[in-house]
Amino acid sequence: MRKYFLAAFLFCACNGVPIPKPKGYFRIDLPRHEYRLFSQPGYPYSFEYPVYANIVRDSSYFDEQPDNPYWINVDFPSFQGRIYLSYINIGTHALYKVKGSGGAYHDSLGVNTLDKLVGDAFNLTNRHVEKASSIDQYPVAPFPGTAGFIFEVGGNAATRYQFFVTDSAHHFLRGALYFYTTPNEDSLRPVNQFLSEDMKHMIATLQWKRP
């Protein structure tokens, strides 16, 4: 009798309803946080960036020189990520695309005022609101006379972190972290958290140079 009971038990156990395992992701080996100084002659700013990153000139205009020579990118080849850094001198003139009454856009010469630059930074972050589950903002003040905000975008948005810092008189620097992969909040979480520390270190070590 015991043999029949044991056989029946094993049969039921082997033919039970399978339970799916939770979805997993490949383990990512993260390096130690180590930094070096970016302080190129002629650039109006300096900061420390990771030793596992590369500084490259912005080539958004089909590999031609961009309008602003101080726009650079901090590339993370191991993580397929990049922090885009755009610098603007407050009070200078720039061409803006303005939508006309007929719906067509035309160039218009405008002034890079502080209010406009701050408004643009908030608007660029809010463009991700459709994919974002949340957008939080945190004030930063790396040193007296300079302040700004870090934006943390939740959900499967194309960017997780953005920021801007300014001295309100001459300098305005904006940054945005992007990855060259399909946005997935769960799989990118370890790398996002890791690179967010690097981004915060860049902000904390930022120094302006004479305009």
pLDDT class of 75 with cuts at 50, 70, 90: very high
Number of structural domains (the chain) is 1
Q: Where are the alpha helices (DSSP H) in 42-172?
A: 114-126
Domain membership of residue 139 (yes or no) is: yes
Cα 135 from chain centre = 13
- Mean per-residue pLDDT over the chain, rounded: 80
Domain membership of residue 33 (yes or no) is: no
Domain that holds residue 60: 50-208
Domain membership of residue 141 (yes or no) is: yes
CA–CA dist 73, 130 (Å, integer): 26
* Range scoring the smallest mean pLDDT among 31-40, 59-68, 100-109, 176-185: 59-68
- What are 140-150's pLDDT values in tens digits? 999 999 999 99
Please classify residue 68 by burial: count the beta carbons closer than 10 Å to its beta carbon, then call 0-12 exposed, 13-18 middle and 19+ buried.
middle
Note the pLDDT of residue 59: 63
Note the pLDDT of residue 182: 65
Domain membership of residue 22 (yes or no) is: no
Q: Would the pLDDT of 24 be above 50?
A: no
- What are 76-101's pLDDT values in tens digits? 999 889 999 999 999 988 766 666 67
Note the pLDDT of residue 58: 73
Sorted by sequence, the CB contacts under 8 Å of residue 102 that are 6+ apart come out as none
Domain membership of residue 1 (yes or no) is: no
Note the pLDDT of residue 5: 41
For 175-181, what is the mean pLDDT? 86
pLDDT class of 67 with cuts at 50, 70, 90: low
Domain membership of residue 35 (yes or no) is: no
Contacts of range 161-169, beta carbons closer than 8 Å, 24 or more positions apart: 161/192, 161/195, 161/196, 161/199, 162/121, 162/124, 162/125, 163/199, 163/203, 164/117, 164/118, 164/121, 165/140, 165/203, 165/206, 166/90, 166/114, 166/117, 166/118, 167/208, 168/90, 168/114, 169/90
Contacts of range 29-35, beta carbons closer than 8 Å, 24 or more positions apart: 30/190, 30/191, 30/194, 31/78, 33/197, 33/198, 33/201, 35/198, 35/201, 35/205
Domain membership of residue 39 (yes or no) is: no
Q: Can you give the pTM of this predicted structure?
A: 0.77
- What are 41-60's pLDDT values in tens digits? 999 999 999 999 999 987 65
Domain membership of residue 151 (yes or no) is: yes
